[in-house]
Amino acid sequence: MTDASQNGNATKKTYHKKATGDALLTVEQHSKEEDLQIYGSCFCPFVQRAWISLEHKGIPYQYIEVDPYKKPKELTDINPRGLVPAIRHGPSFSMYESTVIMEYFEDLGEGSSLFPPDAQTKAICRLWTDYINRIIVPGFYRLLQAQEEEKQLSYSVELRDAINKLVEAANSEGPFFLGNSIGFVDVQMAPWVVRLRKVLGPYRGWPNPEPGTRWCKWVEAIENDKSVKATTSDDGLYLDSYERYAENRPNTSQVAQAVNEGRGLP
């Protein structure tokens, strides 16, 4: 996708407004009206988290593509800041914030749970979820938006170290965070795992995981998970959609602005 209006330069890429590949098939399978509706954007990793949860659980839902930068009323009626994902469930309930939405899906008790049954392991999952949101996700954007080579190098080391800390906290056999099956922490992390290869690889030379490592095992398990695949578009969609971040263009998004200003993510 190109945006001819951007700086008068017709070669600039911008974000996509329609999923491609496997994600498009999933969108098409979920186009009819349902009690539960998710407002999403095909490129958005926060949306992908909630979307993976729905696919994993097999909860019936309608996927509605919206442009969060145009802020349609159907979105701002749910979240006044106009961020995706947002959901409606039934005639009177709506919610936003990807982690809160994922917890809501857990609490519905439908399909297979992403949380472990015991309170202590669940608390551990919540702790690492918080770590992903406060440390890893901002670290990803900081590196992607950095324009000077020196900063790219130091942010790359920071992100690598932050990921290593998460890997050390994971079950040593894996392949997922808690062991054999995909869980809450994996789904929280999955959209950025996908984007490490598809976005940070081409734009910042992020290396593919070293074969035989625990990290490699985890990445492969996440990338091959059925629900992750079903919500992932073709590579070109991500390359195009993230060029704005990689060039740190003005007015890219609330996330990009928060990172540039050293604030916490919106």
Ligand X SMILES: N[C@@H](CCC(=O)N[C@@H](CS)C(=O)NCC(=O)O)C(=O)O
Using CB under 6 A, pick the residue from 23, 38, 44, 199 that binds ligand X.
44
Tell me which of 3, 97, 106, 235 binds ligand X, using CB under 6 A.
97
What's the min distance (Å) between Cβ of 48 and ligand X?
9
In the bound complex, what is the minimum distance in angstroms from residue 245's beta carbon to ligand X? 10
- Residue 93 CB, nearest distance to ligand X (Å)? 17
Does the protein bind ligand X through residue 255 (CB under 6 A)? yes
**Secondary structure of 39-80 as H, E, C letters:** EECCCCHHHHHHHHHHHHHCCCCEEEECCCCCCCHHHHCCCC
**10 Å Cβ neighbour count for 132?**
20
Closer by beta carbon to ligand X, 88 or else 217: 88
Which lies closer to ligand X via its Cβ, residue 124 or residue 258? Answer: 258
When asked if residue 83 is in the footprint of ligand X (CB under 6 A), the reply is yes
Tokens of 240: 């195009």
Q: How is the beta sheet containing 93-96 ordered, strand by strand?
A: 62-65, 36-40, 86-89, 93-96
CB of 134 vs ligand X, minimal distance in Å: 11
Does the footprint of ligand X cover residue 128 (CB under 6 A)? Answer: no
Nearest of 166, 172, 219 to residue 191 by alpha carbon: 219
Size of the site for ligand X (CB under 6 A): 17
Contact between 242 and 203 (Cβ < 8 Å) = yes
Q: Is 253 in the site for ligand X (CB under 6 A)?
A: yes
Distance from C-alpha of 154 to C-alpha of 146, rounded to nearest angstrom? 10
Place of tokens 């690598």: 160
Q: Check residue 68 for interaction with ligand X (CB under 6 A).
A: yes
Of 136 and 255, which has the nearer Cβ to ligand X?
255
Q: Are 51 and 61 in contact (CB under 8 A)?
A: no
Using rule CB under 6 A, residue 69 touches ligand X: yes
> Helices (DSSP H) in 89-178: which residue ranges?
98-108, 119-131, 137-145, 149-169
Is 46 near ligand X (CB under 6 A)?
Answer: yes
Residues near ligand X (CB under 6 A) are 41, 44, 46, 68-69, 82-85, 97-99, 253-255, 265-266
